Amino acid sequence: MKNTANRGRIMIIGAGGVATVAAHKCAQAPEAFKEILVASRTFSKCEAMQRDIRQRYGRDIQAAKVDADNVAELTALISSFRPDLVLNLALPYQDLHIMDACLATAVNYMDTANYEPPDEAHFEYSWQWAYQERFKEKGIMAVLGSGFDPGVTNVYTAYAQKHLFDEINYLDILDCNAGSHGHPFATNFNPEINIREVTQTVRHWEKGKWVETPAIIEEGSVHFGFDYPVAGMQESYLLYHEELESLVLNIKGLKRARFWMTFSDNYLNHLRVLRNVGMTRIDEVDYEGHAIVPVKFLKALLPEPASLGTGYTGKTVIGNIMTGKKDGKTMTRYIYNVCDHAEAFKETGTQAIAYTTGVPAMIGAMMVMTGAWEGAGVFNMEQLDPDGFMEALNRYGLPWQVVEHEPLPDKV
């Protein structure tokens, strides 16, 4: 299937905050997205998106109900709508089911988060990389991780490798949310996924191997204060994040790669208490004759992430600090974006965490559907040409800048 033959038909699976942003941004670009279908197990959320998009842009999009765990159901819907690309913005547990349905229908695939099994707090790309030959044989493309991190951070690195450095030796990705949603405790995206991610043992890449350090809520976790543009000084914690797994394979010369994220004491204290009383468990427990998973029950109690946009103030600052060689000289550059929660809500009705993920998802889809990105097989973002994507970030709401910076220290 040649991407240049695409007809502008996109199918978005999911109906949360990220899917809402992606659908809005697709609706803003009719030259690339002529027909839009949003599909979810919760049909009422798809209908709400339909109404909002019609009111804001005067465009009609389609909506459908689908169970993303049911490959036969997915396959039937894809066959009926005949999209050029399926944009998976459902749960990471469902990635492989949706990839299987894309294989069955010979349709291009894209997501924003790598697969993790529902019964194990562990995520890695190996499950999806295993689809390489099957997608290649079908002549279709799977693009993994087209959010911000992973996604934009991968493209920042590819752009720096292409235009700024001869080789990149040290990579630090820093993700800061300096916003306030006004709740005592809430997660900015799916609580179940978020809590599983941040309670894992931390890993970073150094001298050709993975180095483990304690999870962010454990004694001995690695953290330091960093002075972010606009946001100012924020405590930043070393965290394992999925883009490191592919970047250390695809970016030449890397000696160290780390990922940092800001967390407040309030958030960490809540998380410790929830962990200590068993509410972050992912295994089933018996409660009055019913099998429940504590973290799923906790998800039902916490605020819906898509609802946090109302009254959310402050900004996010996400970017890469990279040190490497250019013409024999060592230099450091910082590429970053600043996004405003209130502005994101004004445009799409969501907060900036959803916005910074949904916009890159739309841009990645645009790259594939316009033929800017072509190929057969499974790709991570840094393997694709960064230039068109970087230009589109400026055009569609996530402008970036490059500045000189001091390298981050080896030890913090």
- pLDDT tens for each residue of 348-388: 999 999 999 999 999 999 999 999 999 999 999 999 999 99
- Enumerate the domain spans of the chain: 3-147+353-395, 152-350
d(CA 62, CA 341): 28
Ramachandran angles phi, psi of 398, nearest 5°: -125, 65
d(CA 373, CA 348): 27
Q: Which of the 8 DSSP states describes residue 31?
A: T
Q: Residue 255: name the closest of 150, 169, 159 by CA.
A: 169
pLDDT grade for 5, boundaries at 50, 70 and 90: low
d(CA 63, CA 47): 6
Overall CATH class of domain 3-147+353-395: alpha beta
Q: What is the pLDDT of residues 33-51, one digit of tens each?
A: 999 999 999 999 999 999 9
pTM, 2 dp: 0.93
Q: Residue 171: name the closest of 356, 332, 411 by CA.
A: 332
Q: Element (H or E) spanning 198, and its range?
A: helix 191-198
Structure tokens at 161: 């490798």
Topology (CATH) of 152-350: Dihydrodipicolinate Reductase; domain 2 (3.30.360)
Q: What is the pLDDT of residues 336-346, one digit of tens each?
A: 999 999 999 99
Hey, what amino acid is at 177?
Answer: N
d(CA 275, CA 147): 28
d(CA 306, CA 350): 6
